Amino acid sequence: MSDIVFDICRVAATVAGLFVAYYVIPALKVVVQNHIDSNITGFINSAVYAAQQTLTDNSMKKKYVVKTVSEWLNERNIKITDEQLDILIESAVLAMKTETK
């Protein structure tokens, strides 16, 4: 009798493990990536807003934002390309301009 119970428990544990591996882990990866993305976007928005409020020269604004965001990303070992960074900055600038209208 105990062999049958052991086999049932073993099968149940295997099924539970497969469920976790197939559904839970990918869902957690998506949640974590969305959290990271929202943190990056929020920080870029803050840096763009700070540059807009404190600096007057547009070329200095872009340099300030790129430098600030790059340092922040490097501290957290997050890698994005320069093209991706430019797109995110331009998106933040556009969002800020449409907010003020």
For residue 27, the model assigns a pLDDT of: 94
- pLDDT tens for 39-65 read 999 999 999 999 999 998 888 999 999
**Angle formed by the axes of helices 82-100 and 58-75, nearest 10°:** 120
What Cα–Cα distance (Å) separates residue 74 from each residue in 36, 42, 58, 86, 87? 14, 16, 24, 16, 18
pTM attached to this predicted model:
0.75
For residue 58, the model assigns a pLDDT of: 84
For residue 1, the model assigns a pLDDT of: 61
83 band by pLDDT with thresholds 50, 70 and 90: very high
